[in-house]
């Protein structure tokens, strides 16, 4: 396979870094498009220069947790990205979207991704695919602190709702594959559903087994409590509200996507593997931080 020049936005994030690692291992030239590399997403001119000459680009809209209107903010950043890939005439684009991004309302934080799909569809991009991964397993890391402090896992999701869950490493691997595949034969959208569906009851048991707490309990948090917890973490009211709306949407309509599960959209990393390799270290850090606070206040 001929070596390519690939531009990767969000190269320091979970999905982007996984894609970069695989692209570099395969010998491709990678342009890492990040704010720390001097390419703010608000600057279409700098983005255009970063994309210039690229055979393909991986696009993602970075979350702005301080945005009062997260959909409007996503559209501001998305417009700059679209302007840049158009000006640079990038022939292939892989966009990190989300399950249920085909819906135009009611999905909270996903709405900006719906808008970006439509924006990219309107451009004359020769090869374009929207990746629509399911619920990120990394979202479960948010519960590490409550498990460390209270001994229970709490989130606003219905405990009996079976969710397709996927590790971001698998999403990055698929992105790297699509960025370099020859010939390009992808449909406009590609769902990614992880290894199987898990309920939050099951997820708590899997996480508990990995950290030496078999039988770890899951408690569904009321939406108001979930909103307050988000605000306590420093996000804006707009982001907290959109987070609640997204979880309410999942609970009431489920994550239905547009594809049924098949070998084509099923990925390898199980929740058990994720728990051992990713959740355990984060949980251990949360425990250590809690003990440090207790010792300092004694």
The answer to whether residue 298 scores a pLDDT higher than 70 is no
The answer to whether residue 278 scores a pLDDT higher than 90 is yes
pLDDT of residue 290: 87
Within 14-95, residue ranges assigned H as helices are 14-25, 44-51, 70-88
Q: For 5-135+167-192, which CATH superfamily applies?
A: NAD(P)-binding Rossmann-like Domain (3.40.50.720)
Lowest mean pLDDT among 196-210, 241-255, 265-279: 241-255
pLDDT of residue 186: 86
Question: Average pLDDT over the chain, rounded to whole?
Answer: 95
What angle do helix axes 168-180 and 14-25 make, rounded to 10 degrees? Answer: 50
pLDDT tens-digit map of 60-101:
999 999 999 999 999 999 999 999 999 999 999 999 999 999
pLDDT of residue 256: 62
How far, in Å, CA of 14 to CA of 185, rounded?
26
Domain ranges across the chain: 5-135+167-192
Classify residue 96 by its DSSP letter: E
Provide the pLDDT confidence category of residue 255 given band limits of 50, 70 and 90.
low
pLDDT of residue 273: 98
41-49, Cβ contacts within 8 angstroms, sequence gap of 24 or more: 41/9, 41/77, 41/80, 41/81, 42/76, 42/77, 42/80, 43/80, 44/80, 44/83, 44/84, 44/87, 47/80, 47/81, 47/83, 47/84, 48/83, 48/84, 48/87, 48/88, 49/88
pLDDT tens-digit map of 160-195:
999 999 999 999 999 999 999 999 988 899 999 999
Lowest mean pLDDT among 5-14, 46-55, 224-233, 249-258: 249-258
How far, in Å, CA of 6 to CA of 23, rounded?
8
The answer to whether residue 292 scores a pLDDT higher than 90 is no
Share of the chain above pLDDT 90, in %: 89
pLDDT of residue 258: 74
How far, in Å, CA of 145 to CA of 1, rounded?
45
Share of the chain above pLDDT 70, in %: 98
How far, in Å, CA of 284 to CA of 289, rounded?
9
Q: Which residue has the tokens 């593997």?
A: 273
How far, in Å, CA of 80 to CA of 78, rounded?
5
Q: In the structure encoding, which two tokens stand for residue 127, read together?
A: 């090869």
The answer to whether residue 1 scores a pLDDT higher than 80 is no
């Amino acid at each position: 396979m001929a070596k390519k020049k690939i531009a990767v936005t969000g190269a320091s994030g979970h999905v982007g870094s996984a894609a970069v690692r695989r692209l570099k291992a395969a010998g491709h030239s990678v342009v890492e498009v990040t704010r720390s590399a001097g390419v703010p997403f608000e600057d279409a001119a700098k983005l255009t220069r970063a994309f210039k000459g690229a055979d393909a680009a991986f696009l993602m809209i970075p979350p702005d947790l301080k945005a009062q209107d997260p959909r409007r903010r996503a559209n501001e950043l998305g417009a700059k990205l679209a302007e840049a890939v158009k000006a640079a005439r990038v022939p292939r684009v892989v966009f990190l979207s989300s399950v249920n991004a085909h819906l135009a309302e009611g999905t909270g934080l996903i709405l900006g991704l719906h808008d970006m799909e439509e924006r990219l569809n309107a451009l004359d991009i020769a090869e374009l695919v929207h990746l629509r991964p399911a619920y990120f397993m990394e979202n479960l890391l948010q519960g590490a602190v409550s498990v460390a402090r209270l001994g229970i896992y709490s989130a606003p999701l219905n405990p009996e709702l079976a969710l397709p869950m996927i590790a971001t490493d698998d999403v990055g691997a698929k992105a790297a594959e699509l960025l370099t595949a020859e010939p390009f034969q992808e449909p406009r959208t590609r769902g990614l559903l992880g290894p199987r569906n898990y309920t939050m009851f099951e997820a708590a048991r899997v996480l508990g087994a990995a950290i030496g707490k078999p039988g770890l309990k899951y408690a569904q948090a009321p939406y108001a409590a979930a909103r307050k917890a988000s605000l306590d973490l420093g996000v804006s009211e707009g982001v907290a509200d959109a987070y609640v709306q997204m979880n309410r949407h999942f609970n009431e309509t489920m994550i239905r996507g547009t594809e049924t599960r098949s070998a084509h959209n099923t990925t390898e990393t199980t929740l058990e593997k994720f728990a051992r390799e990713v959740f355990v270290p984060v949980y251990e850090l949360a425990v250590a931080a809690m003990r440090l606070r207790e010792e300092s206040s004694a």
